[in-house]
Amino acid sequence: MLKRCLVFLSVAWAGLGLFFVAPAYALVEIDISRGNVQPLPIAITDFISDDGLGADISGVIAADLQRSGLFKPVDRSAFIQQINDPDQTPRFQDWQLISAEALVVGRVTREADGRLRSEFRLWDTYAGQQIIGQQFYTQPDNWRRVAHIIADSIYQALTGEQGYFDSRIVYVSESGPKTARKRQLAIMDQDGYNVRMLTDGQYMVLTPRFSPNRQEVTYMSYENDQPRVYLLQLETGQREVVGNFPGMTFAPRFSPDGQRIIMSLQQDGNANIYTMDLRTRATTRLTSTAAIDTSPSYAPDGNQIVFESDRGGRQQLYVMNADGSNQSRISFGDGSYSTPVWSPRGDLIAFTKQSGGKFSIGVMKPDGSGERILTTGFHNEGPTWAPNGRVLMFFRQNAGEGGPHLYSIDLTGYNEQRISTPDFASDPAWSPLLE
């Protein structure tokens, strides 16, 4: 899509006290439908503050936008005008001279009640008009989150798509030698900050997945040598076992409404897909084959499920209705396909493909057409979608490395970046946008 910034925003974030300033016409444009997008030059000034917090917030905003690959923050040393009052109209010629097509200014102040007030304005320097202006109230400890929300607002105003910066990643943190690898469930902001361990590493954990309500994670753990699926409440730390099935349960995911979990249950050498109603704990079997059916993922509307199965001799991707009917194969390329996950936009399915001794991350349409490989390497696996369906994260272990790392890549196959984590990392799962 070509966005010519006729911006109409109607926004509200609970508990952050946001106000909206009137929309404006702008000529700034980003063609996000192209493969290799030319990043938009944007000047992000240090927000005015009595301490260094304003500059810190600006730095996070700039890092978010740059990491998207769609924006190029202008070097601050090139700035001609020094912004002392963000309420004043900028000298647009000064910003045009340094090729800044958009300008962000702002202020951070502390209210009498201790809350932090963060406000910003986004300007189109060539049209000479304000695009958006917003302010937020929050506790000082939440300053990084406010920065992410501001970055999301700028992203949406200039691309026409929802942002994804105010979100989190749950993953498996791996530390220690290969012979005694400790695997812990961990959570962090999407940019790699605020890492927090959710389990102690005493037992191996696998395949964490977020609930649509954002406060709950499902995962698999081998406690006491018994593979079980668990539900973990992020805010309270409380957890519970999802059922007590004979055999191995694995690859759990939530339904789009958060009311069910879909998973694979292995018995007698084969595995089939089941759903469980989290309120009644009633289970429903969806597949019945002598093969390995696993890694189910719902479409965002909840009407269909994609999964992998070796019923045809090797792992391939299949789709079926939510009740298990109309099972049909959709992958037909060389090699084997696994770990499918439906895009939040519903238009694509991401997957892992093994072919020619290499592992690739790719996407295809729900009917199997339009297959595209985004990246290929020694070992790539486990794609997960950003909330806006624009970016994928996955884990990779290069030949000779001691463990895996997390990477992100744009839907078009450009802008691949490694995500920094304290230890090795695998099995990422991207949360919805926070509220």
pLDDT in tens, 127-160: 999 999 999 999 999 999 999 999 999 999 999 9
Q: Which residues contact 87 (CB under 8 A, 6 or more apart)?
A: none
- Do 154 and 172 share a domain, yes or no? no
- Do 196 and 109 share a domain, yes or no? no
Query: Measured between alpha carbons, how far is 229 from 207 in angstroms, rounded to an integer?
Result: 10
- Do 120 and 175 share a domain, yes or no? no
- Do 362 and 424 share a domain, yes or no? yes
Q: Which residues contact 108 (CB under 8 A, 6 or more apart)?
A: 47, 48, 49, 53, 54, 57, 116, 117, 118, 119, 143
- Do 120 and 220 share a domain, yes or no? no
Task: Retrieve residue 393's tokens.
Answer: 């994260």
CA distances from 72 to 69, 284, 423 (A): 8, 50, 29
- Do 141 and 229 share a domain, yes or no? no
- Do 286 and 395 share a domain, yes or no? yes
Q: Which of 26, 14, 342 is nearest to 159 (CA)?
A: 26
Indicate the residue among 137, 159, 181 that finishes a domain: 159
User: Which CATH number covers residue 61?
Assistant: 3.40.50.10070
Range of the domain at 82: 2-159
Query: Measured between alpha carbons, how far is 394 from 291 in angstroms, rounded to an integer?
Result: 27
Q: What is the pLDDT of residue 245?
A: 74
- Per the CB < 8 A criterion, the answer to whether 337 and 314 are in contact is no
Q: What is the pLDDT of residue 352?
A: 98
Query: Measured between alpha carbons, how far is 421 from 38 in angstroms, rounded to an integer?
Result: 29
Indicate the residue among 131, 159, 187 that finishes a domain: 159
Residue 246 amino acid letter: P
Burial (CB count <10 Å: 0-12, 13-18, 19+), residue 34: exposed
Query: Measured between alpha carbons, how far is 190 from 187 in angstroms, rounded to an integer?
Result: 9
- Do 108 and 136 share a domain, yes or no? yes
User: Which CATH number covers residue 338?
Assistant: 2.120.10.30
- Do 17 and 81 share a domain, yes or no? yes
**Strands (E) located in 190-333:** 196-197, 205-210, 216-223, 226-233, 239-241, 248-254, 260-267, 270-277, 283-285, 293-298, 304-309, 316-321, 328-329
Number of domains in the chain: 2
Q: What is the pLDDT of residue 26?
A: 46
- Do 251 and 354 share a domain, yes or no? yes
pLDDT in tens, 173-194: 999 988 889 999 999 999 999 9
290 inside domain: yes
- Per the CB < 8 A criterion, the answer to whether 330 and 366 are in contact is yes
- Do 37 and 131 share a domain, yes or no? yes
136 inside domain: yes
Residue 263 amino acid letter: M
Q: What is the pLDDT of residue 33?
A: 56
- Do 262 and 402 share a domain, yes or no? yes
Q: Which of 203, 194, 159 is nearest to 71 (CA)?
A: 159
435 inside domain: no
How does pLDDT run along the chain (435 residues), one tens digit per residue? 323 333 323 233 333 444 333 344 445 766 555 556 789 999 999 999 999 999 999 999 999 999 999 999 999 999 999 999 999 999 999 999 999 999 999 999 999 999 999 999 999 999 999 999 999 999 999 999 999 999 999 999 999 999 999 999 999 999 998 888 999 999 999 999 999 999 998 999 999 999 987 789 999 998 877 888 899 999 899 999 887 676 777 789 999 999 999 999 887 778 999 999 999 999 999 999 999 999 999 999 999 999 999 998 999 999 999 999 999 999 998 999 999 999 999 999 999 999 999 999 999 999 999 999 999 999 999 999 999 999 999 999 998 889 999 999 999 899 999 999 999 999 999 999 998
271 inside domain: yes
Residue 171 amino acid letter: Y
Indicate the residue among 115, 132, 159 that finishes a domain: 159
